[in-house]
Each structure stands twice: as structure tokens, then as C-alpha cells.
């Protein structure tokens, strides 16, 4: 192996030195070298391992860590979750002027970084993501409490590392996400308002149909043919109204965090044929042809929440029908794509 340093000078190293070099590069960011004694310790260790060039690189990476535009911190991946290091940007996020002040404010632990009301959910999410990614990385958002009491939102990109020297640790890239989240909430509220506005308008159609056809049915009780036709139209309008009400209930469940997923075996071919059939009456009114293409679906049995999956397909096809001009064509195509990376269960 050959290493080319930033000064373009090549250095030949064996495999043992390669391992030490990588370890050294990792340790640079892990230690709070802003303290003189820690910096001296790092320099001493660097000299023992690779000599002056590695010491220069250690200093370079150390300076780089404190000049990062975002927050960066490291903590032990054990029960105590004790903090090891935080860069200058991380201190600023918490409105702290020194590492000592940051340790005191957070209790020198990752648990002290996260808002108490978010901690259980955050740690559970981290455990699940780390397990799913084979001990690689996680992403979480949570609230923090700055020194002074202000509550902010933080984005946390964590990476799990096992080191022979330091044991299991997490190193985290963090950013203040308060403004981003406020923008997202504004958009979400606008979208919700628009949805409810459209919903109130859409509800009028089936409601008026139910009222009008009920009145017509009452006036034609002796005409069996007309009565059956009006009852069919009332049934169709009731189904449309029920679908709209289910949409509102689904949004309420999402907002309250009470959405559950019921995984069952689903036949995609049967499901798509049902979705297609549900479109045909309305498509006929606009003289729109509706076709189904499943030629690239090689495995039609999947594990999914049958109701929610069918609901998604229904939303997509309903919109396609809604925005297609009279006499047009709607094609429902389902294809299968092989994942390049193996997914964990």
C-alpha cells in the first residue's frame, strides 16, 4: 500500500501500519484536542505510530473538526452514553461557551442532549436503525433544551464504530433543524388546509346525490325500475362519501401517531384488477378507457398492509381519472424492480 499525503509525498507502509493509520485518522476526531494535555497525548501517540507526518495529519483533522459548519460530537455506546467530544459548532447550538459548560449542561451524557420527552422514542429509533443497517448508521430528529431554556430541534446523523482502543462509540453529525421544521410545518398546515378545503367541496357531490336520489326514490315507489336505479345511485354515492370520510380519519390517525400497519399476504394482480374495476363506472361517464398492464410483475404475492396499499393505488388512479380529459385513456401499470442491495427483515 502507498499513501499520498496532501503535500504529494508518497510513503510506503505495510498492512499493520495501514491499520494503525486508519485507526489514527479515526482517533483524531474522537479526542477533544482543544485541551492541551489531550493534544500532547495525541501527538505523543502519533509519533509512536507513524512519526511526524501523521502528527501533522492529526493536527490537520483536529482543526478540521472544529471548523465544521455543523455540530459534531462523540459518545460511548454503553449504558452511561458518556460524552467524549463536541466541536465548537455543537457548543454554539446549545449556547455553551466551553466544553466544560456543555458537559455540565447535558450531564456529560447523550441522554442530556435529547429533550426528556423525546428520549425514549429517539433511543428506540436508534437501536432499530442500527440493527437494520448492520451497526452502521441512523438518522433521528429530536428537541433539545439550550442553556437558557430555549427549545430547538436537532437533526442527528449517527454512525456506530467499534474501536479496540475506545470500545463501542457513536460519532454524530448534527444540525439545528428548527427553521427547517417550522417551514415544513407551515407547508404541512397549508397542505392540510387545502386538503380539507377540497374535501369539503368533494363531499358536496355525493351528499347532494344522496339527498336528491332519495327524494326521487320516495316519489317513485310504484315504479320498480326507477326505484332500483335510484337506490343503486344512492349506494354508489354513499360509498364515495364513506371513502372521503375514511380519508379524513386516516389523516387524523397519522397526525395523532396512531397509525398501525397490519402486514398480510396480498395478491397484487387481484388488487389491481379490483382497483381497475372500481374506476370503470366513472370512466364510462367521461368516455375514458382504463387498461391494466402487469406484464412486468413477476411475483404477484407481497407482504403489505392490504387496506393501505389498496388505498394508495386508489388515490393514484382516482387522480389520473380526475385529471384526464373526456375521451382520454388511463393505463395502470405495475412493474417489479429488483433491489441492488440486500434488505434486512
Give me the pLDDT at residue 7, please. Answer: 36
Give me the pLDDT at residue 46, please. Answer: 44
Q: Give the side-chain half-sphere CA count within 13 A for 339.
A: 4
Q: Give the side-chain half-sphere CA count within 13 A for 19.
A: 5
Rounded Cα distance, 67 and 312, in Å: 45
pTM: 0.46
Q: Are 144 and 113 in contact (CB under 8 A)?
A: yes
Q: Are 169 and 76 in contact (CB under 8 A)?
A: yes
The x, y and z cell numbers of residue 302, run together, are 407481497
The span from the first CA to the last CA of the chain, in angstroms, equals 38
Residues 6+ away with beta carbon under 8 Å from 230: 213, 214, 216, 217, 220
**47: pLDDT strictly greater than 50:** no
Q: Are 62 and 39 in contact (CB under 8 A)?
A: yes
All domains in the chain, ordered by first residue: 1-67 (no CATH), 70-176 (3.30.450.20), 179-259 (1.10.287.130), 261-339 (3.30.565.10)
Give me the pLDDT at residue 102, please. Answer: 95
> Where would I find the H helices in the chain?
15-30, 36-49, 52-66, 88-93, 99-106, 110-113, 116-132, 178-219, 224-256, 268-285, 306-322
Rounded Cα distance, 97 and 80, in Å: 24
Which of 26-40, 87-101, 206-220 has the largest mean confidence? 87-101
pLDDT in tens, 283-328: 888 999 999 999 888 888 989 888 888 878 888 888 898 889 999 9
- Tell me which of 204-208, 216-220, 257-261, 272-276 is least confident: 257-261
pLDDT in tens, 92-124: 999 999 999 999 999 999 999 999 999 999 999
Phi, psi of 42 (to 5 degrees): -65, -45
- Tell me which of 46-50, 67-71, 108-112 is least confident: 46-50
**60: pLDDT strictly greater than 70:** no
Q: Are 55 and 43 in contact (CB under 8 A)?
A: yes
Amino acid at each position: 500500500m502507498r499513501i499520498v499525503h496532501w503535500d504529494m509525498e508518497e510513503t510506503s507502509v505495510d498492512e499493520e501500519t495501514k491499520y494503525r493509520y486508519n485507526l489514527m485518522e479515526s482517533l483524531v476526531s474522537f479526542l477533544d484536542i482543544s485541551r492541551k494535555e489531550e493534544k500532547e497525548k495525541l501527538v505523543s501517540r502519533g509519533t509512536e505510530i507513524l512519526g511526524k507526518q501523521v502528527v501533522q495529519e492529526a493536527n490537520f483533522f483536529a482543526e478540521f473538526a472544529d471548523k465544521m459548519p455543523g455540530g459534531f460530537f462523540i459518545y460511548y455506546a454503553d449504558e452511561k452514553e458518556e460524552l467524549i467530544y463536541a466541536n465548537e459548532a455543537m457548543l454554539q447550538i446549545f449556547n455553551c461557551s466551553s466544553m466544560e459548560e456543555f458537559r455540565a449542561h447535558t450531564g456529560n451524557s447523550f441522554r442530556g442532549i435529547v429533550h426528556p420527552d423525546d428520549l425514549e422514542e429517539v433511543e428506540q429509533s436508534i437501536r432499530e436503525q442500527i440493527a437494520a443497517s448492520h451497526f452502521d448508521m441512523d438518522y433521528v430528529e429530536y428537541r433539545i433544551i439550550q442553556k437558557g431554556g430555549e427549545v430547538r430541534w436537532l437533526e442527528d446523523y449517527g454512525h456506530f464504530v467499534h474501536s479496540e482502543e475506545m470500545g463501542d462509540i457513536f460519532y454524530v453529525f448534527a444540525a439545528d433543524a428548527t427553521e427547517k421544521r417550522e417551514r415544513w410545518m407551515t407547508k404541512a398546515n397549508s397542505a392540510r388546509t387545502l386538503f380539507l378545503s377540497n374535501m369539503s367541496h368533494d363531499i358536496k357531490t355525493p351528499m347532494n346525490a344522496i339527498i336528491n336520489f332519495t327524494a326521487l326514490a320516495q316519489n317513485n315507489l310504484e315504479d320498480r325500475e326507477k326505484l332500483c336505479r335510484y337506490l343503486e345511485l344512492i349506494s354508489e354515492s354513499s360509498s364515495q362519501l364513506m371513502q372521503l370520510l375514511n380519508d379524513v380519519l386516516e389523516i387524523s390517525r397519522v397526525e395523532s401517531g396512531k397509525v398501525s400497519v397490519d402486514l398480510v399476504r396480498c395478491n397484487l394482480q387481484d388488487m389491481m384488477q379490483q382497483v381497475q374495476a372500481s374506476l370503470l363506472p366513472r370512466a364510462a361517464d367521461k368516455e375514458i378507457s382504463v387498461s391494466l398492464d402487469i406484464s412486468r410483475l413477476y411475483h404477484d404475492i407481497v407482504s403489505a398492509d392490504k387496506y393501505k396499499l389498496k388505498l394508495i393505488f386508489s388515490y393514484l388512479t382516482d387522480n389520473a381519472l380526475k385529471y384526464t380529459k373526456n375521451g382520454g385513456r388511463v393505463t395502470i401499470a405495475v412493474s417489479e424492480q429488483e433491489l441492488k442491495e440486500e434488505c434486512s427483515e
